[in-house]
Amino acid sequence: MNGERLKAFTALLVTGLYQLISYFIAAVTFPVWLLRDGRSGGGTAQRYGRVPSQIQQKTDLAGCIWMHAASVGEVGVLARVLTHLAGQTPELPVVVTTMTSTGRDRARQLLSGQADHCYLPLDAPALVNRTVRGLHPQVLIIAETELWPNLISRVARYGAPIVMVNARLSARTHRRYRRVGAGMKRILNNISVICVKSEADRERFVALGADPGRVRVTGDLKYEPLSGVVDTPLEDRRDRLGLPAGRPVFTAGSTRQGEEAFVLEAFEEAVRHVDDLLLVLAPRYPRRADEVFELVTERGLRCLKRTTWLEETSGDEGDEMDIPGNGIEVLLLDTLGELERFYAAADVAFVGGSLVPAGGRRRAQPAGTRCLWCPGPLRTAYGGNRGRRPPPARGCRGSAGRGWPKPG
């Protein structure tokens, strides 16, 4: 058996094993999905290939633009893509699939009126085929690097082009994919266009077998301003969030355990120099809200949870309860999907995951909103920008008239 035949045989063997494993996983995890989805609003049938009837009624007429995002961050990428697609294909409905309930909630929040949502099916051939027949996709747009073999092969077999946007391939992931060999090359060659973040990503995709002519460097879409976030005056952005227009705001986002104490210490120092400063504190994981709330109040600071604020003001127009601007010093952001808007409403932002070695968060959100932002010393935490100095903030709004020192 020569080398080429051996590679082909290996690829077929790996594919066959993957199919068997995918069916096995779909079978044994069914009770898990029933329990998990039951707690978060249902959707297990969608994971097993059923397209909701209200969506299928639309797609049966002309098909759809199918967009897939794994979770919350990737939904933001698709929102930026959808902004550019708006109006170009009005006859085609847009369907966004996600894998998590938080991604679903973000899609409903961010893309309401623009797209319908359902869960991505588990990657077993029959389940994917069922979804493809229900959606009739005219194109599949995948955010980031969601390389599901059966999803990609079944959509390609249906005849729809596949586009990956904001794709990234770390050195570690590249080494892992190389073990698949010819099987990975077959998957990548089913993708019509791969839009990657950097030249290093492009080289890794090509090394895995992607056609060089199909791989294009387009940069990180997360740096692109989100429609409706930075294209309106600062006062309007704050008004939508219920923040006072004239109060200086410091937003500390995606903080990890151990970082909040440093942030609060810096805030207490800052309020000596900046009158009426408001801190918006957003832990990386909202489940830590009670822990962080206790940490804030132990320091004698007046704190309000965002969820409490929303609950107590819903339906009470003009209610002057203890909202920011009325005695509150710290607003604890314990909701999902709002951080980018609070970055856009801030004068200064801090990006968490850069004071403790916890993996870090990307600086794309504050940089994309053009507010003055600052990371901590652990800059290697910023994913694809390891070893490089973060770019300067754009459109800094710190002003001496508001009590802020003029930037640099």
Q: Which of 126, 134, 132, 164 is nearest to 146 (CA)?
A: 164
Structure tokens at 315: 């339906």
Left, alpha or beta for 107 (phi > 0: left; psi -120 to 50: alpha)? alpha
Length of the chain: 408
373 and 397 Cβ atoms separated by less than 8 Å: no
DSSP class of residue 251? Answer: E
Q: Which residues pair with 209 in a beta bridge?
A: none
H or E stretch covering 297: helix 289-298
Kind of pairing, strands 116-119 and 137-143? unpaired
CA distance linking residue 221 with residue 157, whole number of Å: 29
CA distance linking residue 45 with residue 96, whole number of Å: 16
Positions annotated as catalytic residues are 74
**Rg (alpha carbons) of the chain, rounded to whole number:** 23
* Burial grade of 397 (CB within 10 A; 0-12, 13-18, 19 or more): middle
